[in-house]
Structure 1
Amino acid sequence: MLDQVSWTQAACSRVLRPVVRLALTMGLKYSHLDTLLRELLLDEARRLWLATGISKPNISQLAMTTGLNRKDVTARIREVDAPSHPSALSPAAGVFTAWLQLATESPGKNRLPINAAAQGTSFETLARQASRGNVHHRAVLDELIRLGMVAEEGGWVELAADGFVPAGDLQSMLALLGDNTRDHLQAAVSNTLGEQPRMLERAVYADGLTQEECERIHQLARQRWDTLHHELVQEMTAALERSGPGGNQRIKIGIYTLHEEAKEAGFDSPVKSPPAKEEKSP
């Protein structure tokens, strides 16, 4: 049991280090993180008890599971669970993804007239289809321009990015970070705890490389992801149609690349290793 605690503590330390870096860089203090952690402990403890069939865990049960004292639990407990689901896909993200897919399938469609014409595709018709008519196309366009995703000129609009990464909007970038990292960790934790079904979770790495070699491999991953991304969008679009209104499941497939000095990763010096070392879940 002591080994399990120490192993888990070491894993949590590595997972939380980038979170602490983000928090300190953005001005959060210990008090902010302390409050956040206590609330998360209570939320997750309630879910653990609910999974055992107990509809409403009491103060003693929550205190025992979290290690918080009864007074603290009583002061913080809430009737409604905090939402753990990801942020909904924004209309701007949905329209941008649909347009990117269109431009891949039909070269030249990276530039469109804004308003619907008698023939051909326009941004207006694309936005109406992608958002199912729920949002006016001008509002979507203004948001994409604000985020630097598209450029407008003379009644036409053109793609200005190859992926929905709103680098000019800190709030949107933080929301994406929270959603994507949460889902990645959720898959990893689910696999570690032996939950079913087993989720795809793979990584391949090499160390002892130059920065130039790392960047070359980085660009290769970007190119391959572009192809896979478009295939997945096609599959998911078709799957939505087949699922109809009864579908209640969601799926996310992502990719990441990181290259840094070995010391940044916690090693004293670069360690030469085989160039195709793979980390994977069972």
Structure 2
Amino acid sequence: MEQRLTWALAACARVLRPVVRLALAMGVKHPHLEELLRDVLIEEARRSWQRQGVPHPNLSQLSVTTGLNRKAVTAKVRAIDEPLPHTESSAAAKTFTLWMQMLSEDPSLRRLPVAAGAAAPSFEAVARMSSRGNVHHRTILDELIRLNMVSETDGTAELTGDGFVPTGDLQSMLAFLGDNVRDHLQAAVSNTLTEQPRMLERSVYARGLSLQACEDIQRLVRQRWSVLHQELAQEMSRSVGLAPAGAEGRIRVGIYTYYEDEGGPSTSHLPQQEPKE
């Protein structure tokens, strides 16, 4: 058991290092992280008991599971505040994705009239379809313009980005970071705990490259992902349309590359396939 704890803590340290880097860059201090960790421990302990068939775990059960005293557990009386938007429910993201999907089938649709007749493609129609009429198209267009993903000239909207990456909006970037990394880690944790079904989780790694070679590889991945992204968007849209009423399944498919100069001489290694799936 002691060795198992050592291994788990080492894995947590690797996972937390970039989280701490982000926290320090944003001015987050130890008391903030300590409070957050306590709250997350209690929430996850409660969910753990609920998965075991205990809908309302008591203070003693939560205290034993987390190692926190009963006073600390009692002080946790409300859910963690969520000041970040949930990216999967963003009308702007849904509209952008649908527009990109249409563009892959017809390149002439990069520029659309903001409003048009029923027979002509328009941004208004795309926004209505993607948001199911719940958000006014002008609100969605203004948000995409604010994020520098769409421009508007003389009643015409034009796509200016090739992916929904709101680099001009820190709150949105942090929301995407939280959602994307969370689900990546959820897949890895689920596989490590041998939960079912097994999630796809793979990577390929090499050391001893030039930074230019790293950038060339990243460019290749971007090109391949662009094609796969369109296929996935089409299949997801089709599946949502065929889903029965009340369906609550969700899926997120992502991809990443990361490279850096570790400094100093290094020995080249052949790429290593990591077998996790």
Is 2:129 aligned against 1:129? yes
Residue 266 of structure 2 is matched in structure 1 by 270
Letter in 2 for 1:73: V
Which secondary structure state, in structure 2, belongs to the residue aligned with residue 246 of structure 1? Answer: coil
Is 2:182 aligned against 1:182? yes
Query: What is the CA-CA distance between 1:126 and the residue it aligns to?
Result: 1.3
Q: Give distance in 1, aligned partners of 2:73 and 2:87.
A: 28
Query: What is the CA-CA distance between 1:127 and the residue it aligns to?
Result: 1.2
Query: What is the CA-CA distance between 1:87 and the residue it aligns to?
Result: 4.5
Q: Give distance in 2, aligned partners of 1:164 and 1:139.
A: 17
Q: Give distance in 2, aligned partners of 1:81 and 1:93.
A: 25
Query: What is the CA-CA distance between 1:88 and the residue it aligns to?
Result: 3.8
Q: Give distance in 1, aligned partners of 2:244 and 2:48.
A: 32
Q: Give distance in 2, aligned partners of 1:118 and 1:193.
A: 52
Unaligned runs of 5+ in 2: none
Letter in 2 for 1:64: V
Conserved in 1, the CA contact under 8 Å of 2:148 and 2:160? yes
Greater CA deviation, 120-129 or 176-185? 120-129
Q: Give distance in 2, aligned partners of 1:173 and 1:56.
A: 35
Q: Give distance in 2, aligned partners of 1:110 and 1:42.
A: 48
Conserved in 1, the CA contact under 8 Å of 2:39 and 2:80? no
Q: Give distance in 2, aligned partners of 1:258 and 1:82.
A: 31
Which secondary structure state, in structure 2, belongs to the residue aligned with residue 244 of structure 1? Answer: coil
Which secondary structure state, in structure 2, belongs to the residue aligned with residue 72 of structure 1? Answer: helix
C-alpha RMSD over aligned residues: 1.8
Q: Give distance in 1, aligned partners of 2:273 and 2:181.
A: 20
Is 2:276 aligned against 1:281? yes
Structure 1 residues 269 and 191: CA distance shift in structure 2, 3 A: farther
Which secondary structure state, in structure 2, belongs to the residue aligned with residue 3 of structure 1? Answer: helix
For residues 159-187 of structure 1, what are the alpha-carbon distances to aligned partners after superposition, in whole Å with 9 as ceiling and x for unaligned?
Answer: 11000000001001101100000000000
Conserved in 2, the CA contact under 8 Å of 1:151 and 1:157? yes
Q: Give distance in 1, aligned partners of 2:72 and 2:46.
A: 15
Q: Give distance in 2, aligned partners of 1:106 and 1:257.
A: 29
For residues 169-219 of structure 1, what are the alpha-carbon distances to aligned partners after superposition, in whole Å with 9 as ceiling and x for unaligned?
Answer: 100110110000000000000000000000000101111000110001101
Letter in 1 for 2:269: S
Letter in 2 for 1:278: Q
Conserved in 1, the CA contact under 8 Å of 2:87 and 2:93? no
Q: How does 1:161-172 map to 2 (within 5 A)?
A: 161-172=161-172
Query: What is the CA-CA distance between 1:119 and the residue it aligns to?
Result: 4.0
Which secondary structure state, in structure 2, belongs to the residue aligned with residue 240 of structure 1? Answer: helix
Q: Give distance in 1, aligned partners of 2:77 and 2:117.
A: 56
Which secondary structure state, in structure 2, belongs to the residue aligned with residue 249 of structure 1? Answer: coil
Q: How does 1:1-282 map to 2 (within 5 A)?
A: 1-78=1-78, 87-117=87-117, 119-262=119-262, 270-274=266-270, 276-282=271-277
Conserved in 1, the CA contact under 8 Å of 2:218 and 2:257? yes
Greater relative contact order, per chain length (Cα 8 Å cut-off, separation 6+)? 2
Which secondary structure state, in structure 1, belongs to the residue aligned with residue 89 of structure 2? Answer: coil
Q: Give distance in 2, aligned partners of 1:199 and 1:40.
A: 24
Conserved in 2, the CA contact under 8 Å of 1:128 and 1:136? yes
Letter in 2 for 1:106: D
Query: What is the CA-CA distance between 1:136 and the residue it aligns to?
Result: 1.2
Q: Give distance in 1, aligned partners of 2:123 and 2:107.
A: 15
Conserved in 2, the CA contact under 8 Å of 1:152 and 1:158? yes
Q: Give distance in 2, aligned partners of 1:22 and 1:237.
A: 34
Query: What is the CA-CA distance between 1:102 and the residue it aligns to?
Result: 0.7
Query: What is the CA-CA distance between 1:249 and the residue it aligns to?
Result: 0.4
Letter in 1 for 2:204: V
Conserved in 2, the CA contact under 8 Å of 1:42 and 1:77? no
Kindly tell me the number of residue pairs found equivalent between the two proteins.
275
Structure 1 residues 43 and 14: CA distance shift in structure 2, 3 A: same
Fraction of identical pairs, as percent: 56
For residues 59-85 of structure 1, what are the alpha-carbon distances to aligned partners after superposition, in whole Å with 9 as ceiling and x for unaligned?
Answer: 22211111112222222244x6888x9
Q: Give distance in 2, aligned partners of 1:160 and 1:61.
A: 53
